[in-house]
């Protein structure tokens, strides 16, 4: 079995990374397989606490699993999926709201990977990542929008190389709390995982550089709509940038943007907002556009994805200054 390391998995310990993927195994069992040399990184025997880098290739001796009859088998999930484009090399999808990208210890059969397997099973036979077929990048659970799904090893690495070189251009729409002051600008800091809450990321002198350009769509009294153009692909990058500027994304409980912020408003304003907005349980961040070089033809391709109805309603409400 071969597993490729994405940019969002950088600096995670090898044993911790595999514990979240090989969900039928305990961490102690995985650590023993690493020590025994049955799990390698870039064809080398390594220590269990190795910090992973983007592009690392992890190989797992599948015979180790067969003897215990615990090899994880991915299930298909028949769930609605909007396919924006498809050829023999890759597909472009509009990721639905509320779906995590790949299986975890707590969710092994209701993820985007399971949906992809159901929709593209015959085209994913030669994908290089047995645990996350079709995944070369990912979006957070509540983030919707455009994603690339490579079908084979050649396309996977051609697209992965573009992500690594930061030549893929991405555009997001974020709906945030508060009145943004600047019309456009660049946000750059260093991010690392929070020691207090491992689910969160925060600014840190020892973190990895995270850069986002932004351009105001509409400035409102209570909410704003913003276009983001991330130049790096750090986990939760846009969510952290919005939060640390004092304008968290609407609905983002993890970064201070939950709907309890309505309690900060006057009762009349609070009532008006509740009347006009169809509240979505989750954050309002949408990947609206992506452009990259086609892995086969080498020509530039551009794809766009429309937000869901709840997102569009709130976007229009903000842009029309109704709240």
Q: Please report the beta strands in the chain, taking only residues with DSSP state E, as ranges in sequence order.
A: 2-4, 39-41, 44-45, 57-60, 82-86, 90-95, 144-150, 169-177, 184-193, 201-203, 208-219, 223-230, 285-293, 300-304
Note the residue count of the chain.
323
Q: Which CATH architecture has domain 171-285+313-319?
A: 2-Layer Sandwich (3.30)
Please give the class, per CATH, of domain 2-66: alpha beta
Residues of the chain with CATH 3.30.2350.10: 82-165, 171-285+313-319
The answer to whether 9 is a known catalytic residue is no
Write the burial class of residue 111 (CB in 10 Å: 0-12 exposed, 13-18 middle, 19+ buried): buried
Single out the catalytic residue among 9, 15, 129, 140.
140
Tell me the two tokens of residue 34.
């690493």
Q: What angle do CA 187, 54, 26 make, to 5 degrees?
A: 115
Average pLDDT over residues 56-76: 67
Per-residue pLDDT of 194-209, as tens digits, reads 989 988 999 998 889 9
Per-residue pLDDT of 224-280, as tens digits, reads 999 999 999 999 999 999 999 999 999 999 999 998 888 888 788 788 777 777 777
Record: fold of 82-165: Pseudouridine synthase (3.30.2350)
Q: Note the pLDDT of residue 198.
A: 84
Residues of the chain with CATH 3.10.290.10: 2-66
Per-residue pLDDT of 132-173, as tens digits, reads 788 899 999 999 999 999 998 889 889 988 998 899 999 999
> CA-CA distance, 314 to 312, in Å (whole number)?
6
pLDDT above 60: residue 72: no
Tell me the two tokens of residue 203.
């600014």
């Amino acid at each position: 079995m071969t597993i490729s390391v994405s940019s969002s998995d950088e600096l995670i310990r090898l044993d911790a990374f595999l514990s979240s993927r090989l969900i039928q195994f305990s961490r102690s069992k995985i650590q023993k397989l690493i020590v025994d040399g049955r799990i390698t990184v870039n064809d080398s025997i390594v220590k269990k606490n190795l910090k992973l880098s983007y592009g690392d290739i992890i190989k797992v001796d599948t015979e180790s699993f067969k003897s215990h009859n615990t090899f994880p088998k991915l299930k298909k999930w028949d769930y609605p999926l909007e396919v924006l484009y498809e050829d023999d090399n890759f597909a472009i999808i509009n990721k639905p709201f509320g779906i995590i990208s790949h299986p975890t210890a707590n969710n092994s059969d209701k993820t985007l990977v399971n949906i992809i397997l159901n929709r593209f099973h015959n085209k994913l036979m030669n994908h290089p990542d047995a645990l996350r077929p079709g995944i070369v990048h990912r979006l957070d659970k509540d983030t919707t929008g455009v994603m690339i799904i490579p079908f084979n090893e050649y396309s996977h690495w051609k697209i992965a190389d573009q992500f690594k070189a930061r030549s893929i251009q991405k555009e997001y729409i974020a709906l945030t709390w508060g009145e943004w002051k600047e019309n456009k600008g660049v946000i750059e800091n260093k991010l690392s995982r929070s020691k207090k809450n491992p689910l969160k990321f925060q600014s840190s002198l020892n973190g990895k550089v995270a850069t986002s350009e932004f351009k105001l769509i509409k400035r409102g009294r209570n909410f704003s709509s913003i276009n983001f153009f991330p130049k790096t692909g750090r986990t939760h990058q846009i969510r952290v940038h919005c939060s640390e500027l004092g304008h968290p994304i609407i609905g983002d409980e993890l970064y201070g943007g939950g709907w309890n912020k309505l309690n900060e408003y006057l009762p009349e304003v609070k009532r008006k907002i509740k009347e006009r907005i169809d509240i979505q349980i989750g954050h309002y961040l949408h990947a609206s556009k992506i452009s990259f070089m086609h892995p086969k033809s080498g020509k530039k391709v551009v794809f766009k994805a429309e937000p869901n109805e709840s997102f569009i309603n709130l976007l229009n409400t903000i842009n029309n200054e109704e709240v």
